[in-house]
Amino acid sequence: MTANEVLQTYWGYGSFRPLQEEIINQALEGRDVLAVLPTGGGKSVCFQVPGIMMEGIALVVTPLIALMKDQVQNLKERGVRAIAIHSGMSPREVDLALNNAAYGDYKFLYLSPERLKTRVFHAYLSVLNISMIVVDEAHCISQWGYDFRPSYLDIGLIRKRVDAPVMALTATATPLVCDDIMERLEFRERNIIKGGFERPNLSYIVREAQDKVGQILAVCNGVDGSGIVYVRSRSGAEELSAQLRQAGVSASFYHAGMGAMLRAQRQEQWKSGSIRVMVCTNAFGMGIDKADVRFVIHADIPESPEAYFQESGRAGRDGQHSWAVLLWNSTDIRRLRQIQEASFPTLEYLEDIYHKVHIYADIPYEQGIGREIRIDIPEFCKRFKLQQAPVYYAIKYLEREGHWAFAEDTDLDTRVMISVAREALYSVDLPDPRMPGLLEALMRTYTGLFSYAVPIDEGFIAAKCGLSISELRQLLYGLSVNHVIRYIPTVHANVIYVLHDRLYPGNVQLSPQRYELLKSTFGSRVDTMIEYVQETSECRTRFLLRYFGEEKPDDCGRCDLCRENRSPDRLKARLREIIDGLVSGSASGTQDHPGSYTLQGIRTALGPAAPKDWPAVLRVMIDDGDVPPPSDF
């Protein structure tokens, strides 16, 4: 089949998005290629189509476990065999998955980066017929990237043993990061396919605001369609969504602290339109492809231009005019500087936290590799009399140094092991008549149940047995009470996956040079965000494009700064037009005060791009007798 035929057969699309076909052809020709496509550019299709067409199995390296699981499930639903190996799987599960990948006619093997240097993976490497090495979130391999992960550097070791082309993909990479990606992945030739970062339908608006809720309501009431409001904290998401609902906006909240089923339910409600506005942390948005998002509001300043550009880019994927609004005040600037300082505890503190985590989990020296530590950070801090913020950032930094993998707010699958011998199982007296059918379904679906605790898909098994999730869990608990199975319920937790045996004091590798580099680049990104919101007078679009290495000769004409630089006569004419419409509408009986208008009515009519000086211009018009004063003046 041709690439277009594969796209039509498996995805049902008649044509590719811009640049997708060019990237696919590069892979089919066996060339290394770096694809830089903005959020919503369809990066997964770029490697999945050639992966289906090429002989062998495509190795996909990605740090996003949730997205990995989602893509594997989507491929399976399309009839494509795919398998995933990530942190949290037992050695037995990893070995079985690699065996299936090597001998089971699979087309995609998804792998988290920390698995690349394990002995079991290298043992299978020679029998894996790898057609292509795909590096998703490729900026993670660069120390200049905003999310550097040392485990990505191990991809270079794979290249020395596997003669297969590399496709690296990222949504946000500066020219410096692009060069670093190609060097570290040992590209055989320089080859970048880069989509334009400009979004002609997107208006960037920045507003200094003390009353952020009022500004958010003005956007919600002044712009039709669905939206996203990003906040920094979980409590902030819950509080703001409640305030919006009280004001009559269809809104809900989403953050990583919620259970998997509730998160999936909220996401589906928002995608279907039953929830109009989602107030969320940055946990929301990964893998979302909703075309008709009319606005994205940041109620807090993001820590980097990359994060801001990626999140704001979720608006207007259908090409219709949309808004990216960032609200800030002096408190946000101070908070951002505090985060900058807290993100880099001293090297001595980092080593201390390294050992305290092992003590917390009762792991002695020279042991611990492969251990799974469920860490409750508040409890940890209480035990060792520490503050939560520096502990959190220390755990994150130690992950970047390759000492462990940290899965924040992850959902660990339910696991089941049958404790009764196979030949004796059918003679066991079970108290519930539904239990034999459940055991039969488990044995028909999963292998290894008599040898080790196997992760199960509760939703799939419940549907297969005609049960609700609650009924399934009650039956599993009942089977465990009767000593028929070992039942490990699903749990939502922070998990540290230990990547090597515990080191002795003084041997914990913490590179001072890398520390200073990461601290410096983080500070540069914070400085850029502060300049963007507080200092620049340059067109917002030009500012962002220049950061990502693109030069735009003309102002966009859509952002708040471009609109403010227009002639004041145009603003006066616009205000007069709005006031005439409001007065005319009120004279028809649509307002409480016939023949009048309100400041709120003007604010709503101007929309998110309202020039900051419109109140002053209106005051001049009133003083000059051009328009009557508003009823709430």
The least confident of 51-55, 197-201, 479-483, 532-536 is: 197-201
3-state secondary structure of 339: helix
Is the predicted pLDDT of residue 551 greater than 90, yes or no?
A: no
CATH of 338-412+494-510, one of 3.40.50.300, 3.30.70.141, 1.10.1750.10, 1.10.10.10: 1.10.10.10
* pLDDT at 595 (0 to 100): 65
What tens digit of pLDDT does each residue of 139-151 get? 988 877 777 877 8
Q: pLDDT band at residue 524, thresholds of 50, 70 and 90?
A: very high
Residue 470: how many other CB atoms lie within 10 Å: 9
Residue 221: how many other CB atoms lie within 10 Å: 15
- Mean pLDDT, residues 412-431 taken together: 88
Architecture of domain 3-194: 3-Layer(aba) Sandwich (3.40)
Q: pLDDT band at residue 557, thresholds of 50, 70 and 90?
A: confident
* pLDDT at 591 (0 to 100): 46
Do 202-328+532-556 and 338-412+494-510 come out as alike in CATH topology?
no
Q: Which of 65-69, 386-390, 451-455 has the highest mean pLDDT?
A: 386-390
What pTM was computed for the model?
A: 0.79
CA distances from 207 to 102, 215, 284, 297 (A): 55, 9, 23, 11
* pLDDT at 594 (0 to 100): 55
Every domain of the chain and the residues it spans: 3-194, 202-328+532-556, 338-412+494-510, 415-489, 566-623
Supply the mean pLDDT for the chain: 89
* pLDDT at 584 (0 to 100): 80
CA distances from 187 to 30, 181, 192, 480 (A): 12, 9, 11, 53
Of residues 600 and 275, more confidence is placed in: 275
**Token digits of residue 559:** 């952002």
Q: pLDDT band at residue 589, thresholds of 50, 70 and 90?
A: very low
Superfamily, domain 202-328+532-556: P-loop containing nucleotide triphosphate hydrolases (3.40.50.300)
Q: pLDDT band at residue 88, thresholds of 50, 70 and 90?
A: low
Of residues 514 and 56, more confidence is placed in: 56
* pLDDT at 590 (0 to 100): 45
Of residues 389 and 571, more confidence is placed in: 389
Q: Are 240 and 216 in contact (CB under 8 A)?
A: yes
Percent with pLDDT over 90 in the chain: 57
Q: Are 96 and 74 in contact (CB under 8 A)?
A: no
Strand order in the sheet with 491-498: 372-374, 491-498, 404-412
Distance in angstroms (rounded) separating the CA atoms of residues 114 and 268:
31
For the chain, the farthest-separated pair of C-alpha atoms sits apart, in whole angstroms, at 96
Q: SS3 letters for 361-412?
A: CCCCCCCCCCCEEECCHHHHHHHHCCCHHHHHHHHHHHHHCCCEEEEEEEEE
Residues forming beta bridges with residue 455, ordered by sequence position: 415
Percent with pLDDT over 70 in the chain: 96
Q: Are 307 and 186 in contact (CB under 8 A)?
A: no
What tens digit of pLDDT does each residue of 311-325 get? 998 999 888 999 999
Q: Are 53 and 37 in contact (CB under 8 A)?
A: no
> Can you list the positions of beta strands (E) in 158-284?
166-170, 192-194, 202-208, 226-230, 251-254, 277-280
The DSSP result for 268-327, as a single string, is HHHHHTSS-EEEE-TTS-TT---TTEEEEEESS--SSHHHHHHHHTTS-TTSS-EEEEEE
